[in-house]
Amino acid sequence: MTIGNQKRYSIGAMIFHWLIAVLVIVNWRIAESAEHLSGPEKGAVFANHKALGMLILVLTLGRLAWRFTHPLPSLPNNYAPWERLLARATHVIFYVLLVGLPLGGWLASSLALRPVDFFGLFTIPMLPVGENKDLAGTIFDAHKTAGTIMIYLIGLHILGALKHTFIDKDLGIFRMLPFGGKARE
């Protein structure tokens, strides 16, 4: 299947997309719920947030490997130049955040001497950076801001998919679904 003639993403790309999307939203909700807690309870909730973040990192790296080894569908011909630019920029920023957020959280946790426990199965080693709690706090603050940007970007992405599906009637959302309407070339 050639890139120009492919209308939908591959099944593998769809699985990565939807799995990562759900995990990112769940992880955001976990972090939001931990903000109102304190002490050991807050630490336990954030332990799940960190473990899920590391899982998202691994899945994102898998998705990037998949993306570079499987053809992508071209954008539909009816997209305006600004829509093409926005779509490409949004996807690049998604990948930067999907890799950068977990790495930043891991770095900050390492600087704070807080190991990352992977759901009780094993401990992910701390990065060899030494202790610097002030820098850890700064990175955690940047991590939180970047997480907020991710949520707004998800909203923009959903609005774009809905616009293309229901207003432009090019059924854009079906490019990332294995069923339903026929997406335009």
Over the stretch 90-109, which tens digit does the pLDDT of each residue have? 999 999 999 999 999 999 99
Into how many domains does the chain fold? 1
User: Residue 153: which CATH number?
Assistant: 1.20.950
Over the stretch 104-142, which tens digit does the pLDDT of each residue have? 999 999 999 999 999 999 999 999 999 999 999 999 999
| pLDDT computed for residue 183 by the predictor | 52
Domain that holds residue 40: 11-176
Task: For residue 3, tell me if it sits in a domain.
Answer: no
Residue 121 φ/ψ, nearest 5 degrees: -85, -40
CA 182 – CA 15 distance, rounded (Å): 19
| pLDDT computed for residue 44 by the predictor | 95
| pLDDT computed for residue 170 by the predictor | 82
Task: For residue 167, tell me if it sits in a domain.
Answer: yes
| pLDDT computed for residue 76 by the predictor | 84
Give the whole-number percent of the chain exceeding pLDDT 90: 79
Lowest mean pLDDT among 40-44, 74-78, 139-143, 169-173: 169-173
Per-residue CA distances from 183 to 10, 14, 52, 177 (Å): 13, 15, 33, 10
Assess contact for 154 and 119: CB atoms under 8 A.
Answer: no
Task: For residue 28, tell me if it sits in a domain.
Answer: yes
Task: For residue 93, tell me if it sits in a domain.
Answer: yes
CA 63 – CA 68 distance, rounded (Å): 9
CA 54 – CA 124 distance, rounded (Å): 9
Task: For residue 181, tell me if it sits in a domain.
Answer: no
| pLDDT computed for residue 2 by the predictor | 31
Work out the angle at residue 14's Cα, subtended by the Cα atoms of residues 12 and 20, and round it to the nearest 5 degrees: 100
Task: For residue 25, tell me if it sits in a domain.
Answer: yes
Over the stretch 150-177, which tens digit does the pLDDT of each residue have? 999 999 999 999 998 899 888 778 889 9
Task: For residue 185, tell me if it sits in a domain.
Answer: no
Task: For residue 2, tell me if it sits in a domain.
Answer: no
pTM for the model: 0.91
Per-residue CA distances from 107 to 84, 89, 104 (Å): 34, 26, 5
Assess contact for 60 and 20: CB atoms under 8 A.
Answer: yes
Model confidence band, residue 1 (pLDDT cutoffs 50, 70, 90) = very low
| pLDDT computed for residue 69 by the predictor | 96
- For residue 124, what are the β-bridge partners? 116
